[in-house]
Structure 1
Amino acid sequence: MKLLQCFLSKSRLILCSLLIFSTTGTVSSVASLLITSTAVAQEETKLGDRKTRRTPALRATVYEQLARAQSAGDAGNVEDAIAILDLVKSKADSMNSYERAMMYNFYGFIYYNEERFDETIEAFQAAIEEQPIPVSFEQTTIFSLAQLSMMQGQYDKVVGYLERWESLNDGKIPPKNYILKAQALYQNKQFSDAARYIEEAIVNHEEAGFLPDENWLTLQRAIYFEMKEPEKVKDIIAKLIRLYDEPKYWIQLAGMYGELGREKEQLATMEVAYQRGFINSASDTYNLAQLYYYHGVPYKGAKLMEDAIASGLLEENLRNLKFLGQSWQRAKEEEKAVPVMQQAAQMSDDGKIDAQLALLYFNLEQYDKAIDAANVAIQKGDLDNIGNTHMVLGLALYNTRQFARALDELAKAESFAGSRGAARQWSKYVEKEKSTYESRLAIEGAP
């Protein structure tokens, strides 16, 4: 895009507009200047109750030289354009303040088009140092300096330029000024001041019958997020959804509900996003599956995880397989959980998943497999509650009539506080069953 746009009309009027990308990524016109070669009278600018400012006119001879520089710049002959302006500058003593300001302004436009931003700023600063100059011209140049300072990360200067602009203004402050000031204050971590200006800009814009720009609301959201006001952040995101309905805002709204501890609204928002096709990333898919799990609908979470792994959206790694297996298990779908947990156990260096797999086998009355899985779990180690694993192993051994080994494992379970009580009760029961079984065998074996 050509950032310096100047158009020479048949009436010998030249319009120059400097277009600058703002920090929000939008293009805005930050300076516009109308010059006429026939202006010879002095300009009078009334500043409210302040004194009238009288400014000299731009003479035709100076205008013609500036127009030549502009034509050279438009043709891509930047050095020629600067050389012409240098020639004009050599006669600066014979020029009035407005003419010198216009000369520096043209330097600034040409430098900007070449992305020579430091020189652009110097030229515009020189332009506004020339006095008297028309108020509108001074304000336009000051606002350009504020935008350029924002691009350069000089946030204190942004605020200073905008305050100077306001001191010249007679009437309402445009929203764009408050937005730029809010951006600078936000970058300077002056969040409460930034909040005040962004709020005023949005309110004034809405009262005038206009919708706030999407980037204004995202800036406002960022400010209140830094101020740790999640309720306001939530409300702003809800407004973004009403006005712009982007998928990312649904995910952000769900996140804010989670931060506020409103888990039901979090799940409902994520489910709406899922139904509308907005859940497309691995992280969002996993988060939704977790919400299903913790809100008592693990089957939905397991199905979501299973489909995402099958499609390649989620990796077939230890974390995902473990959670998928746990989801099937909690959904009382043990048979679906077993192959997933087997795969996860093979990837795991510790015995935690093998311990879960042993319990699954036990519940499915596959006692031999439960014994094998429990032994692997104990061998791998690093278990959260090794006593419970010894107890599962003991009960699986009991069900295969290996009473002595079962009692040994239950005795080991008794040595851990978390499983002591249950292990003692089961030990007594197994002792009785052992005695009964041995007595029956003795009777059956008697002649």
Structure 2
Amino acid sequence: MNKLNSLLLFAGLSSATLVLPSMASMIPGVELASVHAEQTTKRVPALRDKVYSQLARAQKLADDGDVKAGLAALDSVKERSSSMNEYERAMMYNFYGFIYYNENRLPEAINAFEQVVAEDAIPESLHLSTLFSLAQLSMANEDYQGVVNYLAKWDKINTKPQPDSYYVLKSQAFYQMNKYDEALAAINTAVALAEKDGKTPKENWLVLQRALYYSKQQPKKVVEVLEKMIALYNKPEYWVQLSGMYGEVGQEKDQLATIEAAYQQGFIKTKSDLRNLAQVYMFNGLPFKAAKVMKQAQEQGIIEDNVKNNAFIAEAYVQAKEDKKSIAYFEKAASQERSGIYDQRLAEVLINLELFNEAADAAREALDKGGLDFESNAYVALGMAQFNLQNYDASILAFEQAEKHKRSERLAQQWIKYVKNEKLHAETLKQALL
């Protein structure tokens, strides 16, 4: 898509719907009476056949693909412009404008159409349509103040109700100028007009309306617009966006229901959306579903087999009380992480599963690798593993290291006392059995 079309589409218009004065009315054999009949405020001079035939010839050359010859034909007409009346000159520039527009030579098209409205004795309908075209072309040329200025001129002579396209174009220009209040008022009017007439607001109008409410930090209004967009256009990205906005306004149940409905419809496919779904599951107390989504996405190659994702799956399984299933993912995360943080988590899980030898190994690995946020936790895990293995001296040594950290000082002291008592009890029992 070229620059012109992409900008016009963003403005709510396509090149096919650009409101340019119709060249169809200029071809030989078409009555011009209707043009003159619309002129009610001033007398419009006649468009003589001789001039018209020359303009029509230029048009045909351009339409047949010989733009250079078409412009040369217009240049020939222009050389005799001093003998032409205002209406004839206006029509000549009108033809220039069309050719330049079709060649995507926007500045030259704008200049030509400005020459059209500079002539006084032209039909009001031509004056209005040309001003509107200039506003649209200014939008395509990224001259946003020009859009507003041309629409203001159009307003001064227009006597009919403004069409919704007028408000959309004005809104887009104000949006690009960061004048969000004016832009929002205009797009709201366009949407309201369409709905009043029983028409469906165009999708890109609602996209603009949503963007403006978001820029103005009105999340509840963003939610309202997205709900409408889903009802009218039902696109995957709108479901995901609505879910996110429900979370922003504190409607967590609606957030979960929306993203889950999107998932069931097959709308959640990208790694960012799948991870977001898993996080919503976690937030809403559904860790097993979170782990399942991430595990499947990883197996399908959608999300990476990396430390971040493996740690997420592992922690989700722990929260779901599926400690055994977490082990493989903690092991992978540990192997992918330079620090010992996940070795430490693995040690803690292994202790819960009463796999004390493996827990002791993991705790030692965590301490060897270092880089721990809370080194004392690894010493506590090692001390507990060694205690359960009845390695009392090693257990006491580990807890003495944990005692050096303020975070675990009291806990370590309690364990040291307990382990010493258990050691004494074991030794006493042993002596009694001799």
TM-score of the pair, normalised by structure 2: 0.94
Taking a change above 3 Å as real, the CA distance of residues 205 and 247 of structure 1, as seen in their structure-2 partners, is same
Taking a change above 3 Å as real, the CA distance of residues 32 and 353 of structure 1, as seen in their structure-2 partners, is same
Deviation at 1:245, TM superposition (A): 1.0
Contact 1:202 1:212 in 2 (8 A): yes
Aligned match of 1:180: 169
In terms of fraction of residues, the more strand-rich structure is: 1
Q: Distance in 2 between matches of 1:25 and 1:210?
A: 15
Structure of higher RCO (CA pairs closer than 8 Å, 6+ residues apart): 2
How is 1:328-347 mapped onto 2 (pairs within 5 angstroms)? 328-347=317-336
Report the AA paired with residue 244 of structure 2: G
Choose from 204, 213, 216 the match for 1:224.
Answer: 213
Deviation at 1:262, TM superposition (A): 2.4
Report the AA paired with residue 155 of structure 1: Y
Q: Distance in 1 between matches of 2:13 and 2:110?
A: 21
Aligned match of 1:22: 9
Question: Could you list the runs of 5+ residues in structure 2 that have no partner in the other structure?
Answer: none
Deviates more, 1:105-114 or 1:191-200: 105-114
Aligned match of 1:5: none
SS of alignment partner, residue 332 of structure 1: coil
Choose from 331, 348, 362 the match for 2:351.
Answer: 362
Taking a change above 3 Å as real, the CA distance of residues 45 and 425 of structure 1, as seen in their structure-2 partners, is same
Deviation at 1:375, TM superposition (A): 0.9
SS of alignment partner, residue 19 of structure 2: strand
SS of alignment partner, residue 18 of structure 2: strand
Q: Distance in 1 between matches of 2:257 and 2:30?
A: 65
Aligned match of 2:299: 310
Contact 2:38 2:123 in 1 (8 A): yes
1:114 and 2:100 equivalent?
no
Contact 2:39 2:125 in 1 (8 A): no
Report the AA paired with residue 104 of structure 1: Y
Contact 2:18 2:133 in 1 (8 A): no
Deviates more, 1:19-28 or 1:323-332: 19-28
Contact 2:11 2:168 in 1 (8 A): no
Contact 1:390 1:412 in 2 (8 A): yes
Deviates more, 1:104-113 or 1:408-417: 408-417
SS of alignment partner, residue 204 of structure 2: helix
Cα displacement string for residues 225-251 of structure 1 (whole angstroms, at most 9, x for unaligned residues): 111111111110000011111111100
SS of alignment partner, residue 21 of structure 2: strand
Q: Distance in 2 between matches of 1:417 and 1:266?
A: 41
1:31 and 2:20 equivalent?
yes
1:162 and 2:155 equivalent?
no
Q: Distance in 1 between matches of 2:406 and 2:318?
A: 26
Report the AA paired with residue 10 of structure 2: T
Contact 1:108 1:120 in 2 (8 A): yes
How is 1:176-255 mapped onto 2 (pairs within 5 angstroms)? 176-255=165-244
User: Which segments of structure 1 move beyond 6 Å, counting only runs of 4 or more?
Assistant: none
Contact 2:12 2:165 in 1 (8 A): no
* Equivalent residues, number: 426
Report the AA paired with residue 258 of structure 2: T
Aligned match of 1:269: 258
Report the AA paired with residue 369 of structure 2: K
1:105 and 2:100 equivalent?
no
Deviation at 1:429, TM superposition (A): 1.2
Cα displacement string for residues 208-229 of structure 1 (whole angstroms, at most 9, x for unaligned residues): 1211111110111111111111
Aligned match of 1:410: 399
1:320 and 2:309 equivalent?
yes
Aligned match of 1:399: 388
Deviation at 1:330, TM superposition (A): 1.2
Aligned match of 1:377: 366
Taking a change above 3 Å as real, the CA distance of residues 118 and 436 of structure 1, as seen in their structure-2 partners, is same
In terms of fraction of residues, the more helix-rich structure is: 2
Aligned match of 1:153: 142
Cα displacement string for residues 404-432 of structure 1 (whole angstroms, at most 9, x for unaligned residues): 11111112222223222222222221111
Q: Distance in 1 between matches of 2:251 and 2:138?
A: 42
Contact 1:78 1:110 in 2 (8 A): yes
Deviates more, 1:74-83 or 1:169-178: 74-83
SS of alignment partner, residue 31 of structure 1: coil
Deviation at 1:26, TM superposition (A): 4.8
TM-score of the pair, normalised by structure 1: 0.91
Deviation at 1:24, TM superposition (A): 4.7
Question: Could you list the runs of 5+ residues in structure 1 that have no partner in the other structure?
Answer: 2-17
Aligned match of 1:143: 132
Taking a change above 3 Å as real, the CA distance of residues 137 and 46 of structure 1, as seen in their structure-2 partners, is closer
Q: Distance in 2 between matches of 1:205 and 1:59?
A: 42
Contact 2:39 2:123 in 1 (8 A): no
Q: Distance in 2 between matches of 1:32 and 1:185?
A: 25
Contact 2:134 2:147 in 1 (8 A): yes
Deviation at 1:382, TM superposition (A): 2.0
**What is the root-mean-square deviation in Å for CA atoms of aligned residues?**
2.1
Deviation at 1:290, TM superposition (A): 1.2
